[in-house]
Amino acid sequence: MKNLFIATLLIAILSSCSTDDSARDNNPNLVDLNFGAVYNLTLPQYNQLNFEGNSFQDYSVGISGINIFYIGNDQYLAFELSDPNHPVSDCSRLVVTGLTARCQCDDNNAYNLTNGQQTEGGPGTYSLRMYRAELNGDILTVSN
């Protein structure tokens, strides 16, 4: 009887786990989409991504674009440039200044681009949507 209880508990715990990033996000303001963007870091337009503390914005992928930030030691962060606490609109695209991404809507939400957390503005339920960033040689791939 004890083994049956443990087995049932284990199955319940394992079935509640998810590896799908969008399942953790559950943000009604941001649509789920699939994309993959490839950046050759030897090309001049991506040169700043070879230096620690620099970032690059690509407005051709994601919902409103993405910001890629080079932490150092071949580690990159990539975040969606759409305010996660607003439905997508003209004002919800984030503008990047240094390590801050700021919404142009009336509440003036601001987010830290090193951790995705809200730092200013109205009450926020969601942090920035993070994407996968993987480096293989000189090729950086960002995807969701």
pLDDT, tens only, 60-97: 999 999 999 999 999 999 999 999 999 999 999 999 99
pLDDT digits (tens, 9 = 90+) for 4-38: 444 443 344 444 444 444 444 689 999 998 999 99
Range of the domain at 96: 34-143
pLDDT value of position 124: 83
Would 48 be classed as within a structural domain? yes
Q: How many domains does the chain have?
A: 1
Tokens for 139?
A: 């090729």
3-class DSSP state of 77: strand
Residue 21 lies in a domain: no
Residue 30's CB is within 10 A of a number of other CB atoms, namely 24
User: What average pLDDT does this structure show over 31-60?
Assistant: 96
What CATH number does residue 42 fall under? 2.102.10.10
In a domain, 14, yes or no: no
